[in-house]
Copies of this chain bind each other. A is one copy, B any other.
Amino acid sequence: MSDPTSRDKLIRTASNLFRQKGYSGVGLSELLKEAGLPKGSLYYHFPNGKQELAEAATRWAGAWLERLLDATFAQAESFNEGALMVCDAIATEVTSQTHVPACPVLSILQAAPLEPRLQITAQEVYGSWTKCIEKHAKRLGHARPDDAAFSLHCQLQGAWVIAYAQQSNAAFTQLARELRTKF
């Protein structure tokens, strides 16, 4: 079995950089310098190069957010309370770094016209998130789980875009305030 640290470091570094500057805005040389690895390592672990790495990084970050959703909703006693807690959780994660990073899926989305695989990846990860939220909505007895899931996902995406633009978590704070009035 291969030592996961190198592959992992590539994925982690790629995810961070892509979320800051977007897929096309990050060069391999910069990425590899940041990861402290030579080009050979990249093409050994990801024979299809940048695109394959981006796909892996997106799925990895997607799974991370899904774990965050599960862990947060697990503590909630109602869907609205869970939604509020998720909003806070993402706000905290996003502000824990010097640069407010974009949604990991969004960061590769603009490269989708050039790299068809990334389009599919983005759709799958988004779909997975919505399904995950829907699952919790159902569990917590929401009347319309699918509507609730779309609505929350949509609001979170919107707040994330605005937070990224403003480089501040104010949008998440505002969204949290709005969600708080609902229950």
Q: Which residues of A contact B (CB under 8 A)?
A: 20-25, 99, 102-103, 105-107, 109-114, 119, 122-123, 126, 147, 150-151, 153-159, 161-162, 164-167, 171, 174-175, 177-178
The 5 closest A-B pairs by CB, nearest first: A22-B110, A158-B158, A154-B158, A157-B158, A24-B24
Shortest CB distance A21–B (Å): 5
B25 near A164: Cβ-Cβ < 8 Å: no
Interface of A, secondary structure class, is: helix
A109 near B158: Cβ-Cβ < 8 Å: no
B25 near A111: Cβ-Cβ < 8 Å: yes
* Shortest Cβ distance from A150 into B: residue: B174
Choose one: B21, B119, B177; the contact of A113 (CB below 8 Å). B21
A114 near B157: Cβ-Cβ < 8 Å: no
**B residues within 8 A CB of A153?**
158, 162
